[in-house]
Amino acid sequence: MMRNKSLAIILGGGQGSRLAPLTNSRSKPAVPIAGKYRLVDIPISNCINSDIKRIFVLTQFNSASLNQHIKNTYHFSSFSTAFVDILAAEQTPENAGWFQGTADAVRQCMNHFLNHEFEYALILSGDQLYQMDFNEMIKKHEESGAEISIATLPVNSKDAPGFGIMKTDADDVVTAFIEKPKPDVLHEWTSPVSEEMQAQGKHYLASMGIYVFNRDLLVKLMSDQSTTDFGKEIMPQSVGKHKMRSFQYEGYWTDIGNIDSFFEANLELTDEIPQFNLFDNANRIYTRARILPPTKIIGESKIRKGMIAEGCILHGCTIDRSVIGIRTRIGKDTEIHNSYVMGSDHYQNLKEIYENLEHRLINIGIGERCYLNNTIVDKNCRIGNDVYLNGGSHLADSDHELYTVKDGIIVVKKNAAVPDGFRVGDTTEAI
């Protein structure tokens, strides 16, 4: 119903330093998630499931991988107006610099958006995990006569200081906005929420970074060169000037802003009934259609809580509360606990594998008798035999040639070759 009225704009984010080293060679939206997807697949899939199929993705850092993924994934009929297009920062006579913020990114790309007919611009983040029907939000935006709608999530007093918090009236009109309020003023920032949210102590409305703008107002706001960010400037400055409405969302939502939140979002997918449902027929997550064989399990492998992508070969190993990505090879007697292994972009053939073994070179995948815990293994890593990687609170944040430690999580860098017997995180070191 809304597909011809709405244009989606997905903000790819900045340099993504909080997700480093995963963003050292790729943009934030291109980071692999759940073993077979990319982060950008989440907002794009939400758009497609909402029948919104004119989508721009804005990015400026390490965009080659993202470009390739979108080119290989999102194909529509030649007779439709559907598209998913990448808009990277570009120098023009009017704009000689990089995007300076979320609003500045939209401003610099406005000429591309205005080549299309639309009434509403749906602005989304490229690094969030959630499932939402945008039609409901846009319908309420239209029926209420709002000029701006902002999706809000009820949160408790513990989480509220980490967000932009809205104050609304009984009609969901935003009457005030504060960025990351201090705990001692929170009592002034409660808003009407459902009885279920009240029972959970969630009395505060946090911005989800999902906006609907009327076209004419967006054009007007973008003509002001002094504003560069939606959350820090556009939204607070619009309160009282433009009719701004809150759209309350009570489902699962998490911001993939740092290594810790990214790690937990992936491991939670191994729960018996995860909050983020990958098995929902009505809300499918789309990604590149790879032609891969089924996963093969050899020997007495044990999988207690795991999500195993297609094309893996597991040799008598143990998988415990871990996500194993596409084309992963894991050797005999290896244990993977509380970890995310992203997998590989290609297979090695048998000749190459045997030649590497003969010359004592490490093959792609994880070798024999390894132990991994609280670890992320990026794409195309080569981990030898008897490698011990034990993340946890006993490890201080640090950066090394082969790996990084953040919040107790060991992140093995993309394409790293970890030698036999390599050890990180011996608990005896912390004594």
Q: Which of 31, 34, 39, 37 is closest to 10 using CA atoms?
A: 39
**pLDDT at residue 140 is higher than 50:** yes
pLDDT (0 to 100) of residue 231 = 84
Whether the CB-CB separation of 395 and 360 falls below 8 Å is answered with no
Whether the CB-CB separation of 326 and 292 falls below 8 Å is answered with yes
pLDDT (0 to 100) of residue 186 = 93
Give the C-alpha separation, 55 to 228, whole Å.
22
pLDDT (0 to 100) of residue 203 = 96
Beta strands in 60-173, from DSSP E residues, in sequence order: 83-88, 120-125, 128-130, 148-155, 164-168
**pLDDT at residue 76 is higher than 50:** yes
Give the C-alpha separation, 53 to 341, whole Å.
32
3-class DSSP assignment, residue 216: helix
88, with CB counted inside 10 A (0-12, 13-18, 19+), is middle
User: Domain 296-430 maps to which CATH number in 3.40.50.1220, 3.40.50.2020, 3.40.1160.10, 2.160.10.10?
Assistant: 2.160.10.10
Q: Which of 119, 41, 110, 12 is closest to 276 using CA atoms?
A: 41
What's the mean pLDDT in 5-26?
87
What's the mean pLDDT in 400-413?
98
Give the C-alpha separation, 81 to 55, whole Å.
11
**358: Cβ–Cβ under 8 A, 6 or more apart, which residues?**
none
Q: Which of 160, 159, 193, 194 is closest to 177 using CA atoms?
A: 160
Q: Which of 405, 417, 418, 407 is closest to 371 using CA atoms?
A: 418
**pLDDT at residue 430 is higher than 70:** no
Cβ-based neighbour number of residue 101 at 10 Å: 18
What's the mean pLDDT in 140-165?
95
Q: Which residue has the higher pLDDT, 223 or 152?
A: 152
pLDDT band at 98 (very low <50, low <70, confident <90, very high): low
Whether the CB-CB separation of 50 and 135 falls below 8 Å is answered with yes
Please state the domain extents for the chain: 6-270, 296-430
Give the C-alpha separation, 66 to 46, whole Å.
18
Whether the CB-CB separation of 299 and 332 falls below 8 Å is answered with yes
**399: Cβ–Cβ under 8 A, 6 or more apart, which residues?**
21, 405
Instruction: For 284-322, write each residue's pLDDT tens digit.
Output: 999 999 999 999 999 999 999 999 999 999 999 999 999
Whether the CB-CB separation of 203 and 155 falls below 8 Å is answered with no
Check whether domain 6-270 has CATH 3.90.550.10, yes or no: yes
- Rounded to the nearest angstrom, the gap between the alpha carbon of residue 125 and the centroid of all alpha carbons in its chain is 9
3-class DSSP assignment, residue 71: helix
pLDDT band at 93 (very low <50, low <70, confident <90, very high): low
What's the mean pLDDT in 386-391?
98
388, with CB counted inside 10 A (0-12, 13-18, 19+), is middle
pLDDT (0 to 100) of residue 244 = 96
Give the C-alpha separation, 98 to 61, whole Å.
10
Give the C-alpha separation, 27 to 39, whole Å.
10
What's the mean pLDDT in 356-377?
96
For the chain, what is the total number of helices (H) and then of strands (E)? 10, 30
| Mean confidence (pLDDT) of the chain | 92
List, in sequence order, every residue forming a beta bridge with 298; answer none if it has no partner.
315
3-class DSSP assignment, residue 398: strand
Whether the CB-CB separation of 391 and 355 falls below 8 Å is answered with no
Cβ-based neighbour number of residue 82 at 10 Å: 16
pTM: 0.92
**pLDDT at residue 92 is higher than 70:** no
Instruction: For 177-188, write each residue's pLDDT tens digit.
Output: 998 899 999 999
Above pLDDT 90, what percent of the chain? 77
Q: Say which amino acid occupies 338.
A: N
Instruction: For 320-335, write each residue's pLDDT tens digit.
Output: 999 999 999 999 999 9
